[in-house]
Structure 1
Amino acid sequence: MSGALHIERLVKEYKPGAPVLKSIDLAIEGTGLTSIIGPSGTGKSTLIRCINRLVAPTSGRILLDLPGERVNMAQLQGRALRRARRHIGMVFQEYNLVERLSVMENVLTGRLGYLSAWRAWRRQFDPEDVERAYALLDTVGLAAFAGQRADALSGGQRQRVGIARALMQQPAVLLADEPTSSLDPKTSVEIIQLLREQGVQRGIPVMVNIHDVELARRYSDRIVGMTGGHVVYDGPPDGLTDEHLHTIYGGTAWLE
């Protein structure tokens, strides 16, 4: 499933007259890993959360191609919003797993949006969903952990469960909000590689909000640099110069 995402003149204000996002325009097509970099407080997480409507935009359009239709996520409400959001996979910084549930049960929650309220409450999943969940656990390297409680896993393992859960949705786009910030360097590389590989294999775009510039340079197909609520760089990793980083982060001493 291939998703295309077009963000047009997106503005988000938490306080009137003090926008966090200032008329953002971005087009994310096809597949590949797009990394969003920039200092804390510049709107990276807000951008990701506006796309899946964890945060409601103030103005602008967020056009997402879903199977058979294009929707404006910025305007959807109620049932239409719930239908659209089930096609947007989300990987969180702090994993957002149900700690007391097993790894398998956490992965299967990625299908709850496709079930009736009664079946979701009873966790009545189709046999093919269970089979797909086992396949995804194998993909992320956790097939042997299906029956373990989520709170028994390491941080890297929990993030892999989060990725499997997001892929369980069969998403049109995969979003990740600082998925490596709580992980050691080796595990961070593995998680970014896994996200990119799954985007390529499944033909969907992956957007990652990330603080590690070098990690973004090594594994991204595209980098979007933000500062002060604006996009100030949008291009390939090898085009990101120290001058760009100076503009994005307001200095270069941290590079030395």
Structure 2
Amino acid sequence: MSATLTAAAPTANNLGNALEIRGLVKEYAAGKPVLKGIDLSVAAEGITAIIGPSGTGKSTLLRCINRLVEPTRGEIRLRGTELTGLRGKELRLARRRIGMVFQEYNLVERLTVMENVLSGRLGYVPLWRAWLRKYPEADIQRAFMLLDAVGLPEHATRRADALSGGQRQRVGIARALMQRPEILLADEPTSSLDPRTAVEVLELLARLTAAENVPVIINIHNVELAKRYARRIVGMSGGSVIFDGPPEDLRTHHLQAIYGGEDWL
């Protein structure tokens, strides 16, 4: 089966911004905001990399977008849909439009690779179908196509706990794309990988999301990889955005402001 994913034709939904964030605040304790009024617009294509020191709110920002964390106040709009006020069924329907790739893979270890990939369709199929593993034929064919695209067609029937870290992250990418998401969030997807595997995973993520016209927001510690793969970099420090621009505009003084100090550069 071919590993080639063809790009979707441009539509009205591909134009402009995929995500609009305005005045986003998150407080885990009253009066101590982790996010301090974030304003951010994310284009409907390409990779936006968020860099910054640990504890500055990068992961909280992503988790507010998909409502794994409840924002304290502010607005988050996904292609015009305001997410922060959604509850129940409306929230479940919105979440299936948002793919997520996790730092620690978040796979079901006892299930096969194929079953993990197909779980990306759980928001779309009746519960009885998922329980009996009776997914529609179109979903099964797409899962095989994605496994081929991430280089794991021969591992479809292996348990997830038999895979290496890099292979697990490839499964995580395939599972996220099974949702046919309108945006994909990646939370430190390479931090548990060796340098070579990290590059391979980012290459794969960039290629497949470009082929399917899916914009990506990625939290990443490696500044050089961020500059290499992102068309835009957002630098955060202390819960605020202090740099927002193309990689070529990121200078030493910006990095010093983001990470603090000089002796580490």
Residue 115 (structure 1) aligns with:
125
> Which of residues 36, 45, 59 in structure 2 aligns to 1:22?
36
What stretches of structure 1 move > 4 A for 4+ residues in a row? none
Residue 148 (structure 2) aligns with:
138
**Paired residue total:** 251
Residue 182 in structure 1 maps to residue 196 in structure 2: no
TM-score by length of 2: 0.93
Deviation track 1:109-156 (CA, whole Å, cap 9, x = no partner) reads 000000123333333210110000000000100011101110000000
Letter of the 2:150 partner, please give it.
V
Superposition pairs of residues 78-89 of structure 1, within 5 angstroms = 78-89=88-99
Residue 5 in structure 1 maps to residue 15 in structure 2: no
Residue 211 in structure 1 maps to residue 211 in structure 2: no
SS at structure 2 position matched to 1:74: coil
Deviation track 1:3-36 (CA, whole Å, cap 9, x = no partner) reads 7100010000000100000000000012101100
Cα shift at 1:186 = 0.5
Letter of the 1:16 partner, please give it.
A
Looking at structure 2, the residues matched to 121 and 253 of structure 1 have their Cα atoms a distance apart, in angstroms, of: 55
Residue 234 (structure 2) aligns with:
224
Residue 45 (structure 1) aligns with:
59
Residue 5 (structure 2) aligns with:
none
Looking at structure 1, the residues matched to 65 and 143 of structure 2 have their Cα atoms a distance apart, in angstroms, of: 25
Residue 50 (structure 2) aligns with:
36
Deviation track 1:192-232 (CA, whole Å, cap 9, x = no partner) reads 11111122111121010001111111111110000000000
Looking at structure 2, the residues matched to 220 and 241 of structure 1 have their Cα atoms a distance apart, in angstroms, of: 15
Looking at structure 2, the residues matched to 71 and 124 of structure 1 have their Cα atoms a distance apart, in angstroms, of: 31
> Which of residues 109, 113, 121 in structure 2 aligns to 1:99?
109
Looking at structure 1, the residues matched to 213 and 224 of structure 2 have their Cα atoms a distance apart, in angstroms, of: 25
* 5+ residue gaps, structure 1: none
Looking at structure 1, the residues matched to 208 and 62 of structure 2 have their Cα atoms a distance apart, in angstroms, of: 19
Looking at structure 1, the residues matched to 90 and 246 of structure 2 have their Cα atoms a distance apart, in angstroms, of: 35
Are the aligned partners of 1:91 and 1:175 in contact in 2 as well (CA < 8 Å)? yes
Looking at structure 2, the residues matched to 254 and 143 of structure 1 have their Cα atoms a distance apart, in angstroms, of: 42
Letter of the 1:35 partner, please give it.
A
Are the aligned partners of 1:12 and 1:59 in contact in 2 as well (CA < 8 Å)? yes
Looking at structure 1, the residues matched to 83 and 127 of structure 2 have their Cα atoms a distance apart, in angstroms, of: 23
Residue 3 (structure 2) aligns with:
none
Looking at structure 2, the residues matched to 194 and 19 of structure 1 have their Cα atoms a distance apart, in angstroms, of: 35
> Which of residues 202, 211, 219 in structure 2 aligns to 1:201?
211
Looking at structure 2, the residues matched to 192 and 252 of structure 1 have their Cα atoms a distance apart, in angstroms, of: 28
Residue 72 in structure 1 maps to residue 86 in structure 2: no
Looking at structure 1, the residues matched to 190 and 249 of structure 2 have their Cα atoms a distance apart, in angstroms, of: 23
Cα RMSD, aligned residues only:
1.0
SS at structure 2 position matched to 1:254: coil
Cα shift at 1:39 = 0.4
Residue 234 (structure 1) aligns with:
244
Letter of the 2:121 partner, please give it.
R
Cα shift at 1:71 = 1.2
Deviation track 1:47-80 (CA, whole Å, cap 9, x = no partner) reads 0110011101000000001xxxx31111111100
Identity %: 64
TM-score by length of 1: 0.96
